[in-house]
Amino acid sequence: MNNFCLIGYPLGHSMSPVIHNELFKLKGINANYSLNEIAPENLKEKYSELKKLDGFNVTIPHKTKIIPMLDTLSQRAELFGAVNTVKIENGKATGHNTDCFGFLRALEMADIKLGGNVLLCGSGGVARMFAFESILAGANLTIAVRANDIPAANLIKKEISEKLQKNAEVITLDEVEGEFDLLINGTPVGMYPKVDASVLPKEKVEKCKAVFDAVYNPQETLILKYAKDSGIKYSNGLPMLVWQAAVAQEIWFDIEFSMDEIKKVLKITQEEMEKI
């Protein structure tokens, strides 16, 4: 039996075991997936145990802290400076980032194109990945944040300039105006329990052709309700969560998942989330 786990701190009620076990079932893989809560100060001493596994996933706060312990990094993990998936093979640990591929495939599933004029709200870890992927897709990127997050957004802008030789515009949320091909919410605004909040007002959301919200609890956030009411294409963050897990397994087992297979897992995940 292959053994995998998710490391992070704190982990709380993670959907990862549900998703991975359903993916294992789909492919007839005999594997075990568990949660392993590791405090930041214990990561180094626990790493030798992790290397005995076939692989593991990484979440906050270990996505960058794990990097010096690994043997090699994939191209995307190196670009983002963040790892969420580790494959152990012949005693060597390789760090990957599947969040980006989860995002791209989630957009594909919702028939949303990444390109044109993209408005990204947020400047945290996931927003940084959205920013890089938007630029890599050839989009014109505008990063909109609260006034006190301008330094963090400018740091992303600087990295994009240095690593990709491209430019991004940084503005405050109040300064958002005009039409956009895609609005991405990379902030936790609208997440349970503060479900009556939206990062942008309805009149600004309505001017976008599509909306992607990284939040998946609730499954229909206020910003997505605005999109739905306006007849705009939209997606929450749950397909991204399922796809990033699927891409991790594609790396671990050298397999491929189809859209139809992921739709099945997505349905089960949605049902499980409704029980929480």
Which of 179, 140, 175 is closest to 160 using CA atoms? 140
92 in catalytic set: no
Tell me how many degrees the CA angle 275-212-82 measures, rounded to the nearest 5: 85
Residue 83 contacts residue 63 (beta carbons within 8 Å): yes
Residue 73 contacts residue 81 (beta carbons within 8 Å): no
Distance set, CA 43 to CA 51, 78, 185 (Å): 12, 20, 31
Residue partners of 269: CB distance under 8 A and separation at least 6: 15, 18, 19, 22, 238, 241, 242
Distance CA 156, CA 162 (A): 10
User: Of the residues 27, 46, 52, 63, which is catalytic?
Assistant: 63
- Rg (Cα) of the chain, in Å, rounded? 19
Q: What residues are labeled active site?
A: 63
